[in-house]
A and B are shown apart, each in its own frame.
Chain A
């Protein structure tokens, strides 16, 4: 059973607009969530994270929102830039020595 789900395999957004990438999880034990960005032929790189004690974390153009009751998080990118075109992975973990559980990823294309 997939514990972290990214139901949209792809998303196209115009440059300058907002990109919203969604992620749902099923394990209520998860208390820390991350977004990774992956370019072709490269490994994933860490982008932004959020702890379950918060509902929002912002870093520049990137904001992650967490809705614990809905077991849902989203990544907002504003304004979107062509260089943001990549695959975005949502990941989750919980306190202790537990590995990251990744979603399948969403391919974002930002069109100039």
Chain B
């Protein structure tokens, strides 16, 4: 049990579908993140939320839409995705965004997304 739970674990969706990934943390952390892990590429930071406010968006296409209703929950809404968006999407959380808060991130197990 990592304290960070992602659902679903696997998702197959068509390019015209709309789906959402969910992340929940029970660690009392104030910062949450979405990362994308593609084959043969470094982990890519997508979005950062601190105290439910988005603080970073690393040039992610608008077909990915994050939502953070409270400090324990983070969503990634997906619509009109492309096959190249198929990847493992990892959620992480950390105590805060202080200088070392980034480094103490706890990761969820990820959602394996396949776009067909």
Count contacts on B: residues with CB < 8 A to the other chain: 29
Q: Digit string of B13-37 for contact with A (CB within 8 Å is 1, else 0)?
A: 0000000000000000000010000
Question: Interface residues of A: mostly helix, strand, loop or mixed?
Answer: loop
Also in contact, A43 and B90, with CB within 8 A (given A101-B42, A103-B42): yes
Stretch at the interface among B62-70, B77-85, B100-108: B100-108
A interface residues, how many (CB within 8 angstroms): 26
Known A103-B42, A104-B42; contact A97-B102, beta-carbon cutoff 8 A: yes
A100 near B97 with CB under 8 A, answer no
By a CB distance below 8 angstroms, the chain A residues around B56 are: 99
Q: If A4-B42, A43-B4 touch, does A100 touch B109 (CB 8 Å cutoff)?
A: no
A10 CB to closest chain B CB, in angstroms?
12
A93 within 8 A of B: yes
Is there contact, CB below 8 Å, between A41 and B109?
yes
Give the docked Cα–Cα distance between A77 and B30 (Å): 33
Instruction: Select A34's contact among B41, B91, B98, B103, beta carbons within 8 Å.
Output: B103
Interface residues of B (CB under 8 A from A): 2, 4, 9, 33, 40-43, 45, 48, 55-56, 90-92, 97-110
